[in-house]
Structure 1
Amino acid sequence: MKENRLLRAVGGIRMNLDTPVLDNHLHLDPDHGQGLDAVADFANVGGTHLLVVNKPSWTLGVEVEDADDFRVAFETTIDVVAEATEVLDGRAWPVLGVHPGLVTHLTDRGFSPEAAGELMRSGLDVAAEYVSSGAALALKSGRPHYEVGDEVWEASNAALRHALALGAEHDCAVQLHTEATDDLTEVAEWAEERGLPAHRVVKHYAGGRLAGPTPSVMSEKDRLETAAEAGEPFLMETDFIDDPDRPGAVLGPKTVPRRVRWLLENGHDEAVRRAHVETPAQVYGIDTDSG
């Protein structure tokens, strides 16, 4: 039954790269974006597994006022992940949390930095409920990658630290959206202090090397070559945003499978296994080899 749905979704036989292929961080918008068409594009060129991160609440037209307002983005993601799994040879998992840029949207609306941080922490609490029930795999948090004032920075770091504590409490990984850097040892120390192993903290949109957490490397050839040659655990991602108003933003859903093929053609078989089998197992406890 699933095989027939697969063939209908992609319009024919799909490419097989003889390895699991995981995009560790992308977004799907089934109502306004490509949605399952993007999943089919990914699968058609050899992609097998996805970690789908909820889109920021404001991009879905939701101006959050209380914790329950975050559920719209979370449940939209959970629903589209279930549909995506029907399209994939492997499966998809939801990653739920609060985008760090929300702090600016809230303070622009009149929230104090302290109140904005409190609301963001309450949203993370709701996301953790889904992890606890088994409906989501991991949490998402972070801090602004742009210049902010001291009060906003501290409120953001307080939310980040709360996410790390929730990760420890619920035994799950935490993906982070942060400033561009190759050193997040301080954040890794915060995680360890709260009982979350540093390798279960993942920096989304990472370069090829990172001190502290596990890097989720943007799938550009130079970054991937650096990561492959480093011999350290890493993941691959596109940060596909599925926004029709920003059609060329970040990387498209076909990119990770195509970069995997490129890595294999250039003799980086061990790096491919590290990024798509070994590191996902270490970080998330998932088995991409078995489906």
Structure 2
Amino acid sequence: MRDLGTPVLDDHMHLDPEHARGIEAVKDFARSGGTHLLVVNKPSWHLGPLPESREDFEHVFETTIEIAERATEELRGRAWPVLGVHPGLVSQLVEDGHSPADAGDLMRAGLEVAAEYAASSDAVALKSGRPHYDVSDEVWAASNETMRHAFALAADRDLAVQLHTEATEDLTEVGEWAADAGLDPSRVVKHYAAGELAGVTPSVMSEKDRLERAATNGTPFLMETDFVDDPDRPGMVMGPKTVPRRVNWLLEHGFEDAVRNAHVETPRAVYGIDTQASLA
């Protein structure tokens, strides 16, 4: 395993132990210098049929917790699960015949199951959000209601929330919704973020131009690949070696403070995890 002299956390990676690379992707990450992972459950329709009841989400969360535990065995640090409901499920359900309101009810039930699993495991965040594509007003309203429910669940259980949303550099209103629910907006993370973001904490896609913006402005940020672990799309969105390689690039260009920000300070502030103490 390569040692970059710092914890290296990928904030948003999917792992599929049944259909794709699974632990082999973790080994690539570790060999490149990666030490810590947040393993986000894949969309539920990628691990089984569309859910029809709250119980249908259980397999998704159990699979994610199990693969995170297996990933920890391969890392100098460790992995933590992130459990929730992908906001794109609303469209899948509506296309399957559900009304937007009924789809929202089922997704909120899924989030409640995720919160229950988080309480009995070492999960550090819930996953929620809203579609990043055009939808009807009814679907948009149901999605926002579901996201606000995630904030309330997270506040009750001292969890963070990772969001999948539209491309934007301003989620101030969403941060205000989190605060209204009792959740510190800094503990809300927009995954697939650009280099700057108002309102919540950005998890920056590990492209050099985005990272340079994040490193230069000095505000809290995280780094991710959104590796999807799909055998039909190898390397999508970014490969598992990317974050360690980008950390090395940042260090070579004098951004030591930014690396500490993204891999030590912000993980501690957002998720309550200590990436330094958990290094072997």
Q: TM-score, normalised by structure 2?
A: 0.98
The answer for the alignment partner of 1:171 in structure 2 is 158
The answer for the alignment partner of 1:42 in structure 2 is 29
Out of 204, 213, 217, which is 2:200 matched to?
Answer: 213
The answer for the alignment partner of 2:277 in structure 1 is 290
- Runs of 4 or more above 3 Å deviation: none
Matched, 1:138 2:120: no
What is the SS of the residue equivalent to 2:93? helix
The answer for the alignment partner of 1:26 in structure 2 is 13
CA-to-aligned-CA distance 1:181-214 (integer Å, 9 cap, x gap):
0000000000001110010000000000000000
AA matched with 1:279: T
The answer for the alignment partner of 2:186 in structure 1 is 199
**Matches of 1:190 and 1:132, distance apart in 2:** 23
**How far apart are 1:248 and its partner, in Å?**
4.0
The answer for the alignment partner of 2:254 in structure 1 is 267
The answer for the alignment partner of 1:10 in structure 2 is none
What is the SS of the residue equivalent to 2:12? strand
**Matches of 1:196 and 1:125, distance apart in 2:** 16
CA-to-aligned-CA distance 1:88-130 (integer Å, 9 cap, x gap):
0000000000000000000000000000000000000000002
**How far apart are 1:39 and its partner, in Å?**
0.2
**Matches of 1:18 and 1:164, distance apart in 2:** 35
Q: TM-score, normalised by structure 1?
A: 0.95
Mapping of 1:110-259 within 5 angstroms?
Answer: 110-259=97-246
**How far apart are 1:247 and its partner, in Å?**
1.6
AA matched with 1:195: G
Equivalenced residue count is 278
Equivalent pair of 2:264/2:274 in contact (CA under 8 Å): yes
Q: Give me the CA root mean square deviation.
A: 0.7
Matched, 1:95 2:82: yes
**Matches of 1:87 and 1:129, distance apart in 2:** 27
Equivalent pair of 2:226/2:238 in contact (CA under 8 Å): yes
Structure 1: which 5+ runs fail to align? 1-13
The answer for the alignment partner of 1:84 in structure 2 is 71
The answer for the alignment partner of 1:60 in structure 2 is 47
**Matches of 2:122 and 2:65, distance apart in 1:** 7
